[in-house]
Structure formats: C-alpha cells, structure tokens
Structure 1
Amino acid sequence: MKNEKKVYSVSGNEVFGSLPLMSQEEVGDKIHQASAAQGSWGSTEVYKRAEILHEWAEQLVKKQDQIGEVISKEVGKNLASAVKEVVRTADLIRYTAEEGCRIHGELLKGDSSKGGSSNKMAMVEQEPLGVVLAISPFNYPVNLAASKIAPALISGNAVVFKPASQGALSGKLMIEALLETDLPSDTIQFVSGKGSEIGDFLVTHPNIDMITFTGSTETGQAISQKAKMIPVVLELGGKDPAIVLEDADLDLAAEHIVSGAYSYSGQRCTAIKRVLASDTIAHDLSEKIKQKVENLSVGTPEDNATVTPLINNEAADFVQDLIDDALSKGAELVTGNRREDHLVYPTLLDHVNSDMKVAWEEPFGPVLPIIRINETEDFVSLSNQSQYGLQASIFTKDVQKARDIATKLDVGSVQMNAKTERGPDHFPFIGAKNSGLGSQGIRRSIESMTRDKLFILNL
C-alpha cells in the first residue's frame, strides 16, 4: 500500500490511526477476490452462515468498549452513545442471522389462475445476487454498515465494504471482528480511499451485482444513474417535520422534539428538522422547547455531552449559514447561535417562514426552526412541498386525526406522539421522494439482496 491517510479525532488534533488510500488497481483486486469467493459462500448452508453471524455479534460485544472509543473519537459521538451503537449492532446481527434462516422459497400450482395448467408446479427459490457493494455514512459507522453487510452475508452474497472517510477506522475494526470468526476471509473485502479516485470505479465495476448506500441525496442520485441495470437501495437525506396540533400534550411534544432534533448534534437523517406547530400553541411550545434546549449538555465527546462538535468545519459553516439567512429574513432567535470552531451550540428559531433556507434544507446540525401553521391542511401541504420524504411525527391526542393526516403525508414512516427515529431494526425503513429508493429493515434488506429463481416441474 503506497499511501495512507492519518485519522484525527473530531474534537482535537489527536492522531489515533491511519487508513490505506487504495488505488483503482488495488480496489479492483479486492472486488475480484470477493467475486471468486462468492460461489463457495453462496452454497454454504444457511445455518452455517447464521452461526458465523452469531460469532460476529459476540466478538463485537467483547470489543464494545474498544470500538466505542474509536467511534467517539472519530465521529464525535459521546462515549455512551458510541458503545450503545456497538451493542445495538450485535443485536441487529443476531436478528439477521435468525431471520435469514426463515427465508424460504415457495411452491406454486399451475392451475391457480385461469388458463393455467394442473400439470405444472413451480419451485421458487431465492438466490444471492453475487457481490454487494455496501457504502456506509460517517454518523453510524458500525450500525449502518452492519445493517448492509449482515443481510448480504446471510443471503449468500460476498461483500465489498466502502465506509465514509470519517468513520472508516471504526468500520475497519468491525470487519476485523468479523474476520475473527470462521467466515472465509475473501468473502468480505474492506476498501478505503478518496471518493474522487475510487468512487465511480466501484459503482460501475462489472463484478458488482448490487449497491446499498447511505449518504447524501446528491451522491445517491449519482450512484443510481451510474449503476444502470444492477439493483440499488438508497438511504438518503431527510427534512423530518414534527407536526404539533393544538390538542397535543406540549410537555411530551417538547421532550421528544428536543431529543429528536439535537441528539448527536442533529447529525442523523431521521432527526426532527422542523416543527410545524398550530399557531394557537406555538408560543407555549417554543418556551417549553427552549427550556429543554438550554439544559442540554454541550462540549466534547469525552465529556459525554449531548451536543458535540460537528464532523468538520464545512458542516458547521453550512449550519451557520442557515441560521444567518433565517435571522436576516426576520426569524426570531429563541436560543443559541453560538459557535466555537465546528462546535455549534443548539439553536432554536421561531417565526420561520418558507422564504428561509432553513425551512427546506437539511442542516445535519443542531438548529431547529419552528414554523407556525393555521389550518390542518397547511400541515400536509407544507410537509409535502419538501423534496424529502423520510419520516414525520404527529403530536395529538386524537388518533383518528393523526391517522387522517398520516395518510396524506408523502413520507415512508409516521410516528404518533414520538420523535422520528430509525428502528427497531426489524421494522421496514423507507424513504419517499429524494429520501431514498427501496426498502430496508432486516427482512426487507435480505429480500433486496436475493432474486427469485424458478424450477418448473412438468408432471
């Protein structure tokens, strides 16, 4: 390996590791190795694949503190949350192993439809696609990587794993834990390097048979266009609204909104990124949110703070620009708008309108706009005008009203009286519009990584 990249901590200049900057030739070798190994892995009994995944989960539990510490340093997540991510990932892998053993084919009779034949029966089996390219983001470098890798492996695919540049060291440790099991080593391939150097090479390589990606909408759209005829599953951006109706429990709403908007500094696609509140209760809600925001701990991951430095200065600049734009156009600063390098303090804005960028753009940072709404139909209209359609929350005591609004929202999931969030991991996870393509969640992910094959019996 000719070149390496030093890995720095988010909150300081500490160098605590390095990663290879692979060339296209090196990446190509990795892909060919995975392709050569897939046939043997694909013919391995499912229960044996499941045993290996269970071993992987146990290895992660044993290494939870070590991997958690690296996650914390590398992506700025507080240590408790980082360790929790590793433990949650082990649970996800175990569930994937068990679910994979429950994926069966089916038997179809030929005379079940008009014009069919009673002399024909079809045995429908599910086959692996081949080599799955798994591309993960920085914010959940272990969980969102394993949510791609584990379903691919249990269904008999080989995997080429490309983590985000920041978060890659955590991902590498996760793969090292996997390689301590009985998994044939060539079945999983770790690649790292500059996206400008190896990105297009990876997604257009003829030996890649499926791509599963989590990241920005812009990058996801580019991957979709370049992938052409191979299956693609995309988990992209969001602008998740919290819709608060006039009969809502405001204390409950404020609690979930603050947790949903500001945990891990808002660096989550499922973070609450705007509040659409009935005008009659907006002031009271704003005050309740303000009190909770001002009690949030702000500092470094080492302090176990809730709001920590953003992933880099570019991300902080983007968030600051959204705040400055809103204030210049008449938004009210309720609290926040303080910055130290790439640590942005939790910021709450009220009286935001549709002329402000923060009403539409995904900040991926700790800023939350409140938009005041008069009519029920306006909640739906304003929500659906967004290019995104990941999730929404509705806070109300009227279940029927929540259901009526939910059916009109162009999103993948609607939460009632709770924050938007990913999981449980076996629930389907879907993004509408520019928030994604395809369905995830353990069973859905396994199904997306297999194809049907028929063996027809002519009796």
Structure 2
Amino acid sequence: MRELKAFINNEFINNGEWLEIINPTTLLPAGKVTALKAEDINKAYSAARNAQKDWEKLALLERISILKKFRDAILKHQDEIAKIMSEEIAKNLKDSLAEVLRTVEIIDYTFEEAKRMDPLAMTGEGMGAKNKLGIFERVAKGVILAISPFNYPFNLALAKIIPALVMGNTVVFKPATAGSLTGAYMAKLAIEADFPKGIFNVVTGRGREVGDIITSNPEIDMISFTGSVGIGNQIRAKGSSTDLVLELGGKDPALVLDDRDLEKYASEIVTGAFGYSGQRCTAIKRVFVNDQIADKLVPIIKKHVEKLSVGTPEQNAFITPVIDEKSSDFIQGLIDDAKQKGAKILFGDKREKNLMWPTLVDYVTPDMKLAWEEPFGPVLPILRVNSIEEMIKLANKSNFGLQASVFCQDISTAINVAKQIETGTVNINSKSQRGPDCFPFLGIKDSGEGVQGIRESLISMTRYKGIVINY
C-alpha cells in the first residue's frame, strides 16, 4: 500500500485526508495520495507565483542543469516508476517502462530545442521606419497549470512540465486520479534533483471536489490539459481569460482505399486500435472500407485480433483491464447497442469485470452509437461504405478531429483524401499515433485547441517580449 503525499513549496503535505487509488487488475487499493483542500491548493499557487521570477532570472543553462538532475533521477528509478504505473493503471510492465524511457528522450530533446529559441531581430525599414531595431525574445508566461490523463501519467505529464520549467515558468501539476501515484512520485525526484522551492508543486485530490478550485485560481497564466471532452469544455468555460492548450478525445478513422497490402494495413489497424486496450485518444476507433475490400481485409484483421494476448500487466499481456468497471460498462453498452441494431460480432464480446477481450464488430452502421462515440476501450467497428466520398463525409461528420489514417499505395490519391479529412493530423499507411514527439500534435473540433509537440509546447508556454532600440 503506497502512501504518497502532495508536494507544495518543497514540502510534503499531509492534512490527514487521503484518496485511495484502485488497482484496475485486482480492484483493490494500489495506494493512496493526499486529498487536498482549497486552502492547500491556494498555497501551491502562491508558492509557484513567489518562485517564478527568481527561477526565470536563472540563465537557461542553469535551469537545464537543475532539470538534468531530475532527468537522471528518472533513469535511476525507472523500474520503480514503471512498477507504480503498471499497478495503478494496468499498463503492462514492458509498455510502462517504455513510457518512462520515451519521456527521457522527450526531456533531452526539449533541452536542445530550448537552446534554439533564439530572439527575433528586425528593423523597421520595410515600413519606412529608419533607425529602429526590434529585439523580440520569448519569455515565460508565469504560472502553468499542468493536468495529465490516466493513460500516460508519466509521459503526458512531463511533456507539459519540462517545457514549462525550462523556459522559466513555474508549475502546479494535477495528475488524474488514476495516475496520482505516478504523479506524486515525481515529487521525490524533484527533491532528489534539488529543485528550488516552489517551482514544481503536485496537487492531488478528488477531481469532482477540487477541480473547479484548481482550474479557476487567479494566479494561473496558462492551462495545459489532457483529458476528457467534458472536463475540457468546463475548463474552456471557466478559463476565458487564461491561455489554454487542450488535448481531448478522438474518434480516429482509418480509411482503406485499396487492397494492395492488406497484411500491412491489418497489422497497423489492429495495433493502432488495441494498444493499451484501446485507451488512447489516438487509437483507431473505426474502419471505413468498401464491401469488396472488406471481404478480404476483415478476415485478416480478425486473424490478428485473435492472436492478441489477454491478461494482467505482470504477464505483459497486450490486452489488460480497462481503468475501472464504470468504463467497461460504458464500452459494453456501445457493443450491445451495435448488436441490437444488426452488427455482427466477429471476435470478443467477452468480459470479466473490467477485463474486456478485444472485440471486432463488422457491419456497423451510422445509426449505431459505436460509429460515433469514443469507447476508450478494446473494440473496433468496421463500417462498410460505397465510395471514398462517403468515407470522407462520415469521417468529417464526427464532432472529433484529432487524427486519421489513410491506407493506399497510390500516394496521389492518399494525399488528396488526407487533405479532405477534417482533423489535426492524417497518417498515410500507418496507424494514428502521437509521435514522433518532435512533431506538432493537435486536434480540432471537440478534440482540443492549441498545439503540443516539443517546440510547439515551448512556444505555447512563452510569449514575445519586445525591446525596440531607437538610434
């Protein structure tokens, strides 16, 4: 039973209130974190504000030197971090460790990219203004609220925290409830790295009780949030005067346009749909294909799905329990609705509490909830359509616009279709995915606003400050 405390101004906070974190595999407590109250959260923002100017005054290389010690502490404790993550979100141990190491790569790249955030120098000559030299550098916004999701509690947290800190901001970090053990463990790494007081604060607690308090504090200069559409829209409504970067849900389509490499297409679709039990905003969540190609493609997809291992994170199973029984109830509801309306279950539709077998559903039609709602679980619907135009129309009809995949060997056709899909990114002949992490990552519609990615995060967490020299 792990017991990890909130972290404010370099002090571990124990107010006597605790929030239990449930292990999705055993449905027993994996540990507990401090359940903060409003006064504690306000102290975190005060600490961050008080520390910010001195932190920003440090030279960039000084800040990087301190953050490198944090990075080294991650490597030192990588196995422990992966174990905690696996216990609290049921991600298999192999993938949990891969997430930790991927995060270190992001940190290293962030340090190098920060060194290239050079000021912009320009003259006024083009506008007829002589004897003026403008120097515009990027400076910290101030206090950043970073909110991470449960599915990538280490990677998606530090992809926000490190860019914020390296550019001179201070951070108040709120991990998702499931993911709070991983988030709170970062405080130990901060102490080991000798972080100055107040630059990094971890606030934990029940979201429904403290969510509004956390997101509406007047000290916040920017919110970087990854999570559900519902919470994201609440933040939009409350943070009208606060800069926002939001990464929300997705209903990422895969459009199969030819049958020239169906084995590759099927392999990409299955790994894209079922990785981490489908609990990814970038998971492939529906496949559009015409009948003729579907009759050849679907059996190959089924063959791949049947080979996916199902079990526990300790077994390094490919399919592990979804985050809780409420989520599995929702996923099952989408499957049941499709069955009742005539869809055909080709594999799966088996469940033991919140352990759900990978489910392949054919003959899904637009009147079924599974065609439109994000399951965030291991289920893949096949929608048979008559034309490429219909695929594009159905793809664009969604209220989501995060990513899409187009499978086609004719690159001209693939690019032409990709340009017509209303989404942040289209992957050609590959599954939808967040990386490489140096690429911009964005969603439109209900999938979010703003842009992430290493350089883009450095830009979003800073603003221009100009000095004009008149001579």
- Normalised by the length of structure 2, the TM-score is 0.95
- Once the two structures are superposed, the pairs formed by residues 52-201 of structure 1 within 5 Å of their partners are 52-113=66-127, 116-201=128-213
- Once the two structures are superposed, the pairs formed by residues 230-245 of structure 1 within 5 Å of their partners are 230-245=242-257
* Alpha-carbon offset, residue 178 of structure 1: 2.9
CA distance in 2, matches of 1:45, 1:182: 17
* Alpha-carbon offset, residue 248 of structure 1: 3.9
CA distance in 2, matches of 1:379, 1:196: 39
CA distance in 2, matches of 1:8, 1:333: 31
CA distance in 2, matches of 1:9, 1:232: 32
Contact 2:24 2:354 in 1 (8 A): no
CA distance in 2, matches of 1:407, 1:38: 43
Give every structure 1 segment of 4 or more consecutive aligned residues whose post-TM-superposition deviation is greater than 4 Å: none
RMSD (CA atoms): 1.0
CA distance in 1, matches of 2:456, 2:368: 37
Deviation string 1:153-190 (CA, Å, 9 cap, x unpaired) is 01100000000001110111123213311321310000
Contact 1:109 1:122 in 2 (8 A): yes
Question: 1:426 corresponds to which letter in structure 2?
Answer: C
* Alpha-carbon offset, residue 373 of structure 1: 1.6
Deviation string 1:58-87 (CA, Å, 9 cap, x unpaired) is 211111110000100100000000011111
Deviation string 1:381-437 (CA, Å, 9 cap, x unpaired) is 110000001011111110000000011111111111111111111110010111110
Please name the residue that 2:376 is paired with: 364
CA distance in 2, matches of 1:13, 1:195: 20
Contact 2:143 2:171 in 1 (8 A): yes
CA distance in 1, matches of 2:187, 2:201: 9
CA distance in 2, matches of 1:420, 1:53: 31
Please name the residue that 1:311 is paired with: 323
* Alpha-carbon offset, residue 57 of structure 1: 1.7
Please name the residue that 2:18 is paired with: 4
2:133 alignment partner, SS class: strand
* Alpha-carbon offset, residue 376 of structure 1: 1.4
Question: 2:345 corresponds to which letter in structure 1?
Answer: L
Question: 1:84 corresponds to which letter in structure 2?
Answer: A
Question: 1:148 corresponds to which letter in structure 2?
Answer: K
Please name the residue that 2:394 is paired with: 382
- Aligned pair in 2 of structure 1 residues 248, 171: CA closer, same or farther (>3 Å)? farther
Contact 1:49 1:154 in 2 (8 A): yes
Is the counterpart of residue 426 in structure 1 residue 426 in structure 2?
no
* Alpha-carbon offset, residue 14 of structure 1: 4.1
Question: 2:110 corresponds to which letter in structure 1?
Answer: T
CA distance in 2, matches of 1:381, 1:15: 46
* Alpha-carbon offset, residue 13 of structure 1: 4.0
Contact 2:19 2:206 in 1 (8 A): no
Question: 1:272 corresponds to which letter in structure 2?
Answer: I
Contact 2:258 2:409 in 1 (8 A): no
5+ long unaligned stretches in structure 1: none
CA distance in 2, matches of 1:423, 1:175: 27
Percent identity between matched residues is 47
CA distance in 1, matches of 2:310, 2:228: 26
Q: Given the alignment, which residue of 413, 419, 423 partners 1:401?
A: 413
CA distance in 1, matches of 2:295, 2:144: 50
Question: 1:124 corresponds to which letter in structure 2?
Answer: F
Deviation string 1:12-43 (CA, Å, 9 cap, x unpaired) is 14434220000000110111011100010011
CA distance in 1, matches of 2:236, 2:27: 36
Deviation string 1:126-160 (CA, Å, 9 cap, x unpaired) is 11010000000000000000000011001100000
Please name the residue that 1:229 is paired with: 241
Matched residue pairs, number?
A: 457
CA distance in 2, matches of 1:251, 1:25: 57
5+ long unaligned stretches in structure 2: 1-14
1:122 alignment partner, SS class: strand
Please name the residue that 1:439 is paired with: 451
CA distance in 2, matches of 1:284, 1:13: 40
Is the counterpart of residue 29 in structure 1 residue 62 in structure 2?
no
Deviation string 1:234-274 (CA, Å, 9 cap, x unpaired) is 00000001111124411001001110001110000000000
CA distance in 1, matches of 2:291, 2:458: 45
CA distance in 1, matches of 2:172, 2:440: 24
CA distance in 2, matches of 1:13, 1:412: 36
